[in-house]
């Protein structure tokens, strides 16, 4: 099953349960726009390589499209469609006035020089500029992209239109219109909903054991905030190089320093036993946070998962078949487009700041983020109990209802 087909399966389950009008169900199932671009980039050795990139807008009924751009050799149109689809519901479930978008380029950025990466980024953004803009579609960082890439995107767009446009992308460096708290935002959102879910389950977080698959921006910030603000024990983490575990819990600041000084990987960290990414998912822990890539918990390994609570930091880490198994096991799952919505929420704050040319203090950003995430969790939980369903289906119902209402109010043009 492709990723978009998998996403549609979850969507149709919710649409059926909420008895969504068949016409609206059909409209909301399809992306509004799909753009594929093939563009040349001059390499440092003088050769020219043609890369393939995508930008998809799923729905813009509630506002401009919003979603990250990823650089990865495995990027496909199917993946980007699914991620844009989820972005629609992610924005809607937390109540921010954006629709869903996503983009990507088929490239391994680790094989490019900095100059090649800049040329690729600028050329790709100029190619998709026919459908992006501060009122149309606002990209952001994703896998293998960062504030530096966003700065190139913003500058490219600004040079083309003849003046600086801060609000065309989010996730920028602070010095050129970025927002305080943006780098930690997705991890902080995971921390907030983990606390809310634990309170609902009657779980004491002080000393609770946590395993995190993926120790990039989301996983490392979630680990730091869960351990330092809530007193959790981060007993296992992993990245592309493999994983490590320590029953006593890791010093996350020390582990982050080691990662940053060791080429961005945790392999070889001395204060932990080696463990595979696959084994981490089945550890006997209180909380499991899959914060790497999609489809890591499947029908093949779901039965072995022993965590009491799963908070999805990544997009689509659990397949629909695995979802059913986890539900039957009584594992409480906070779905991705609720759990990791902290990033897009602070991106919304950054967009607002950029439009106004007025910037907030970090405590204002954090306070506003906590308020949005807590309210969204409470709304989804209430819906979950009302329909006697799981949290993922409930989150879809909340989000679909909001997008459906906007679509119905606006009508079908012409």
Q: What angle do helix axes 342-356 and 185-201 make, rounded to 10 degrees?
A: 130
Give the CATH number for residue 136.
3.40.50.10860
Residue 39 domain flag: yes
Q: In terms of domains, do 159 and 210 share one?
A: no
Name the band, by pLDDT with cuts 50, 70 and 90, for residue 2.
confident
Last residue of a domain, one of 176, 200, 223: 176
The answer to whether residues 238 and 322 belong to one domain is: yes
Closest-CA residue to 290 (of 246, 321, 323, 247): 323
Q: What is the CATH number of the domain that holds 246?
A: 3.40.50.720
d(C-alpha 294, C-alpha 40), whole Å: 29
Cβ contact 170:140 at 8 Å: yes
Single residue among 287, 322, 339 that ends a domain in this structure? 339
Same domain membership, residue 189 and residue 165:
no
Vertex 392 angle, CA 197 and 67, to 5°: 100
Which of residues 302, 319, 339 is at a domain's end? 339
Among candidate residues 81, 102, 172, 224, the one labeled active-site is 102
- The H-assigned helical ranges of 94-250 are 114-128, 147-161, 185-201, 217-230
Number of domains in the chain: 2
- Paired with 36 in beta bridges are 54
Would residue 206 count as lying in a domain? Answer: yes
Region 268-293: mean pLDDT is 95
Answer whether 0.85 is exceeded by the pTM: yes
Cα–Cα distance list, 393 to 13, 208, 320, 338, 368 (Å): 7, 27, 11, 11, 26
Q: Which of 127, 128, 137 is nearest to 60 (CA)?
A: 137
Instruction: Specify the pLDDT at position 315.
Output: 86
Is residue 143 in some structural domain? yes
Residue 158's domain comprises: 31-176
Q: What is the dihedral of CA 121, 181, 371, 70, to 10 degrees?
A: 20
Give the span between the Cα atoms of 33 and 332, in whole angstroms.
35
Query: Do residues 167 and 225 share a domain?
Result: no
Q: Do residues 245 and 226 both lie within one domain? A: yes
State the pairing for strand pair 287-290/65-71. Answer: unpaired
**Is residue 8 assigned to a domain?**
no
- The pair of structure tokens assigned to 345 is 């929420």
Active site residue 375: no
Whether residues 191 and 103 share a domain: the answer is no
Say yes or no: 319 and 195 in one domain: yes
Q: Give the DSSP H/E element, type plus range, for residue 378.
A: helix 362-387
Average pLDDT, the chain: 96
- Mean pLDDT confidence for 240-264: 96
- Which of 382, 385, 391 shows the shortest CA–CA distance to 13? 391
* Same domain, yes or no: 66 and 96: yes
pLDDT tier, 11 (very low <50, low <70, confident <90, very high otherwise): very high
- Domain membership flag for residue 394: no
- Tell whether 55 and 117 lie within a shared domain: yes
pLDDT winner (highest mean) among 3-7, 109-113, 293-297 = 109-113
| Residues whose CB is less than 8 angstroms from the CB of residue 345 and which lie 6 or more positions away in sequence, other chains included | 94, 96, 185, 189, 369, 372, 373
* CA–CA gap between residue 101 and residue 55 (Å, rounded): 7
Tens of pLDDT, residues 68-87? 999 999 999 999 999 999 99
Residue 293: pLDDT band (50, 70, 90) is confident
Give domain status of residue 46, yes or no.
yes
Please check whether residues 206 and 333 belong to one and the same domain: yes
The CA distance from 397 to 142, in Å, is: 26
My answer on whether 333 and 195 are in the same domain is yes
**Percent share of the chain, pLDDT over 70:** 100
Task: Judge if 244 and 146 occupy the same domain.
Answer: no
Report whether pLDDT(3) > 80: yes
* Per-residue pLDDT tens digits for 364-397: 999 999 999 999 999 999 999 999 999 999 999 9
């Amino acid at each position: 099953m492709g990723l978009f087909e998998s996403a549609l399966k979850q969507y149709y389950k919710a649409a059926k349960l909420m008895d969504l009008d068949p016409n609206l169900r059909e409209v909301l199932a399809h992306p509004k726009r799909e753009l594929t671009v093939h563009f040349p980039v001059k390499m440092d050795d003088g050769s020219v390589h043609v890369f393939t990139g995508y930008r998809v807008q799923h729905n813009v009924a509630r506002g401009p499209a919003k979603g990250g751009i990823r650089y990865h050799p495995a990027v496909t149109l199917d993946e980007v469609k699914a991620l844009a689809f989820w972005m629609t519901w992610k924005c809607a479930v937390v109540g921010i006035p954006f629709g869903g978008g996503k983009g990507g380029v088929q490239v391994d950025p680790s094989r490019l020089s900095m100059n090649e990466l800049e040329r690729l980024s600028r050329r790709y953004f100029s190619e998709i500029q026919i459908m992006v803009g501060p009122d149309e579609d606002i990209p952001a960082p994703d896998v293998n992209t960062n504030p530096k890439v966003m700065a190139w995107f913003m500058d490219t767009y600004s040079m083309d239109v003849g003046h600086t446009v801060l609000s065309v992308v989010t996730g920028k460096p602070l010095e050129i219109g970025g927002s305080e708290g943006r780098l930690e935002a997705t991890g902080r959102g995971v921390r907030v909903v983990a606390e809310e879910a634990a309170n609902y389950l009657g779980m004491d977080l002080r000393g609770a054991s946590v395993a995190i698959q993926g120790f990039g921006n989301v996983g490392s910030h979630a680990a730091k905030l869960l351990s330092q603000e809530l007193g959790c024990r981060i007993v296992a983490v992993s990245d592309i190089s493999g994983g490590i575990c320590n029953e006593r819990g890791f010093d996350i600041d020390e582990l982050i320093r080691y990662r940053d000084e060791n080429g961005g990987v945790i392999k070889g960290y001395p204060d932990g036993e080696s463990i595979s990414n696959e084994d981490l998912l089945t550890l006997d822990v209180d909380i499991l946070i899959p914060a790497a890539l999609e489809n890591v918990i499947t029908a093949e390994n779901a039965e072995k998962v022993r965590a009491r609570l799963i908070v999805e930091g990544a997009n689509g880490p659990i397949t629909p078949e695995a979802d059913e198994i986890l539900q039957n096991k009584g594992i409480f799952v906070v779905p991705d487009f609720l759990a990791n919505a902290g990033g897009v929420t602070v991106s919304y704050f950054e967009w607002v700041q950029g439009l106004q040319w007025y910037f907030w203090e970090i405590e204002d950003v954090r306070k506003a983020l906590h308020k949005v995430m807590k309210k969204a969790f409470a709304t989804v939980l209430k819906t979950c109990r009302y329909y006697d369903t799981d949290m993922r289906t409930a989150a879809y119902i909340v989000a679909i209802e909001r997008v459906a209402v906007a679509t119905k109010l606006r009508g079908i043009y012409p």
